[in-house]
Structure 1
Amino acid sequence: MCDNDIQNDQNDVECEDERVALANLIANLKLDIVENKKIQNQLKKANASLTQELTECKSILGETSRTLRESNSVRDSFDYDKLKRKLNETLRLLAQKDIDIKEGLKLKAYEISVVQEKHDELVKQSLLTKSHYEGLVKVKTKVITDLKLKEEKDIDKMISMEN
């Protein structure tokens, strides 16, 4: 009987260790989820900002088109060179804005892929942990069943010895 008590104490310690490990893993997963949500919010804000910049670029393009039409109508006037310089500057700014937006989108796409990889890894780790935990529960159940059977046999032996 003493051996059974020692074995039960060891099982209790192992179970407590498993609970602590699982609790730590769950806490870490929750922190990763919170971080993931923060990054997603940042990406949403960046996307909104880029959308606003795109709207501004469209506005600049509209203004450029209007300026071009005006310049065609006053081509022979003194303001033609001034309008041409303004148009060229506007086109240069628009091209730079386009480059900036494309670079921003590339960066955001990369950030999204990093977040997706981290998310996939967390899901995989969670599934592995769940599988490991279920295996440990099966082992624990088998050990308890084996101990009960052994205890019953020992009791039967003791009864037969008394008889």
Structure 2
Amino acid sequence: MKKIKIKSTIFVYENMEALPEQDFILMQKAIEARSNAYAPYSNFQVGAALLLGNGEIITGNNQENASYPSGLCAERTAIYYAGAQFPKAKIMKMALSAGSKNKESNDPIPPCGACRQAIAEYEIKQKSPIEIYFMGKTGKVAKSNSLTNLLPLVFDKSML
């Protein structure tokens, strides 16, 4: 038997104001997108903002449906829109803000597993990492330089 140790590095900022200006603006866009989320069932709102290599900022938010599996997370809403409208542009950075309408969320909230897989697909497709910033409604902001810090054993097309 062989032991494999997996190490991830996440950076934590005390709050949004500690972010570099460009990243602060991107997080503001994610917060704005979160406020427009359609989440009547879970009351859990998520906003995403992507900075593309061509300078465009794309936003998305979660869209729920009474038939629960039919909804879509904010991250995938934004990623798929970017892929459809700007297929040659790389996703450079992603900012996420999430939280429940029913309680405060001050700790960073990372992407769900399905979204991690979707982000991984785009990192592989574009052959470059995507910086991911994530937070609750307020408080600390976590930063990962790549999705591989959040999903180190990624499933990709080489396995098909």
TM-score range, shorter chain: under 0.3
Structure richer in strand, relative to its length: 2
Give me the TM-score of the superposition, normalised by structure 1.
0.18
Give me the TM-score of the superposition, normalised by structure 2.
0.18
Higher RCO (CA < 8 A, seq sep 6+): 1
Structure 1 or 2, whichever has the larger Rg, is 1
